[in-house]
Amino acid sequence: MTMTSEATLFSPTTIGKIQVANRIAMAPLTRSRADRNGVHTPLAIEYYRQRATAGLIITEATNISRQGRGYAFTPGIYTEAHVDAWRPVTDAVHEAGGKIVCQLWHVGRMSHVDLQENGAAPVAPSAIQAGELIFLETGKQAPPSMPRALETDEIPGILEDYKNAARCAMEAGFDGVEVHSANCYLLDQFVRDSTNKRTDRYGGSLENRTRFPVEVISAVSEIWGPDRVGVRLSPLTRSAGDTPLDSDPQKTYGFYVERLGKLGLAYLHCIEGQTRGDNAASAFDFKALHAIFGGKYIANNSYSREMAIEAIASGYAEMVAFGRPFIGNPDLVERLRRNAPLTEPNHATFYGGAAAGYTDYKTLGESVTG
Ligand SMILES: Cc1cc2nc3c(=O)[nH]c(=O)nc-3n(C[C@H](O)[C@H](O)[C@H](O)COP(=O)(O)O)c2cc1C
């Protein structure tokens, strides 16, 4: 039987141990609508349920600890209250036939003393301040605070925090977890030579710089089994202009992914280019990265319908993740299937607020007025 390429984008497959109904993933999207303690309100249940026709939902980045929090109103997955708030979300997605993994997040230096326990300094591989702006609970934006370099003997405690979060995610009924190692957050800060100036066994050589991220991913895999653990990378992303790239991203991320390839993970998920910028698959050899990894690959960053169809049909990727299109189009899968027009999401309601711009986008059936 000859399959059309479109049939391939909409055909089921298996990613690690997770069976997905199609090749379209919902990319992780921070929406900043949890309460001050990182506990979701019931609105999140509706938001994710509406999008459950995605083959795989990857949740918004979710804090693994209070220390790992850098943006007000982002959810957590480290207390009983967090688990109780996430469970109805995973139930709703499963009832609608979907699959959902939790993106595990520690922001490292991208935080502010106002968001930390007792006004503590954020932690990072090295005491180098980030230049990006972050949102505080007051709604004001501020530059991240000067971070404190982690002591070597603090590393096991953070690994424990990741394990606790992984256990909480299991208790909350997720299908797996995605370790956030992209976008210049803690794990990425260890990997890049611009943000890691350590002289202990977690800094210097590539082996040393990738040690902590690999330890985190291995620790989480102990809880879930590696075939329910994915990893997200963004080798070309600068954070708000000020963080230089690694001095040799191809070599650095190639080395990192070679280590990841040995762990038997469910998937590698790459943001191809500057996050939310142009897809820059040509500026970096992502194909070489998949080959080194040797497992399933999820491609992301400004993919159009045509690019996604081609990526799957050609075997370039096993899934394509869409971010912004899923904000404005809860029924994105159906719209892509029918080649129907997409609703532009409203940028003003990306972060914070309530139902407006969150759960009130219409499906095709609702928006077609005849
Ligand atoms: C509002 C918003 C929030 C985002 N939050 C996250 C996040 O929590 N974790 C993450 O890894 N990427 C995050 N991203 C990046 C997206 O997952 C995705 O990589 C990016 O939007 C490019 O894909 P797209 O062109 O399909 O939107 C966010 C992007 C947007 C627009």
Query: Within 10 A of 70 (CB to CB), how many other CB atoms are there?
Result: 27
Cα 324 to averaged position of ligand 1 atoms, centre (Å): 7
Q: How far apart are CA 175 and CA 171, in angstroms?
A: 10
Residue 287 placed within a domain: yes
Structure confidence at residue 7 as a pLDDT band (50, 70, 90): low
Q: What is the mean pLDDT of residues 327-343?
A: 97
| Helix 211-224 and helix 249-261, axial crossing angle in degrees, nearest 10 | 30
From the CB of 108, is ligand 1 less than 6 Å away? no
DSSP conformation letters of 97-155: T--EEEEEE--TTS--GGGSGGGPPPEESSS----S-EE-TTS-EEPPPPPEEPPGGGH
| Rounded-to-integer distance, Cα 171 and Cα 167, Å | 6
305 found inside a domain: yes
Residue owning the nearest CA to atom 4 of ligand 1: 29
Verify whether ligand 1 is closer than 6 Å to residue 29 (CB atom): yes
Read off the pLDDT of residues 75-95 as tens digits, 9 standing for 90 and up.
999 999 999 999 999 999 999
Q: Which of 232, 365, 369 is nearest to 298 (CA)?
A: 232
Q: Which of 206-215, 251-260, 279-288 has the lowest mean pLDDT?
A: 279-288
pLDDT digits (tens, 9 = 90+) for 234-246: 999 887 655 668 9
Write down the catalytic residue from 47, 48, 162, 185: 185
Query: Does 248 have pLDDT greater than 50?
Result: yes
- What one-letter code names the amino acid at 202? Y
Whether the CB of 347 sits within 6 Å of ligand 1: no
Q: Report whether pLDDT(166) > 80.
A: yes
CA of 239 to the centre of ligand 1 (A): 13
Counting residues of the chain whose pLDDT is more than 90, the rounded percentage is 87
Per-residue pLDDT tens digits for 27-46: 999 999 999 999 999 999 99
pLDDT at residue 288 tops 50 = yes
Q: Is 61 in the pocket of ligand 1 (CB under 6 A)?
A: yes
Query: Which pLDDT score is estimated for 223?
Result: 98
What's the confidence (pLDDT) of residue 4?
47
331 occurs within a structural domain: no
Tell me the whole-structure pTM to 2 decimals: 0.97
The answer as to whether 366 is a domain residue is: no
Q: What is the mean pLDDT of residues 192-197?
A: 95
195's tokens:
């943000």
Domain span at residue 257 reads: 5-321
300 close to ligand 1 (CB < 6 Angstrom): yes
For ligand 1, mutation pick of 24, 30, 47, 307 (most atoms within 8 Å of CB):
30
- Ligand 1 atom nearest to 232, measured from its CA: 11
Q: Which atom of ligand 1 is nearest to the CA of 302?
A: 25
Question: Helix 80-95 and helix 43-50: axis angle, to 10°?
Answer: 30
CATH number of the domain within which 280 lies: 3.20.20.70
Decide if 303 is catalytic.
no
Q: How many domains does the chain have?
A: 1
Give the mean pLDDT of 333-342: 97
SS (H, E, C) 81-102: HHHHHHHHHHHHHHHCCCCEEE
d(CA 370, CA 231): 44
The response to whether residue 183 sits with its C-beta less than 6 Å from ligand 1 reads yes
Q: What is the pLDDT of residue 242?
A: 56
Residues 6 or more apart whose Cβ sits within 8 Å of residue 115: 69, 70, 71, 72, 134, 136, 137
Q: Six-digit token pair at 333?
A: 């899968």
**Per-residue pLDDT at 3:** 47
In a domain, 365, yes or no: no
pLDDT single digits (tens) 300-316: 999 999 999 999 999 99
CA-only gyration radius of the chain, Å: 19
DSSP code, position 80 = H
How many CB atoms sit inside 10 A of residue 245's CB?
A: 17
DSSP-based three-state secondary structure for 172: coil
How much is the pLDDT for 139? 83
Query: Does 347 map to a domain?
Result: no
Check residue 370 and give its pLDDT.
40
Question: What ranges make up the beta strands (E) of the chain?
Answer: 13-15, 18-20, 24-26, 56-63, 100-105, 123-124, 134-135, 141-142, 148-149, 176-180, 229-233, 267-271, 297-300, 319-322
* Residue-wise pLDDT tens digits, 90-132: 999 999 999 999 999 999 999 999 999 999 999 999 999 998 8
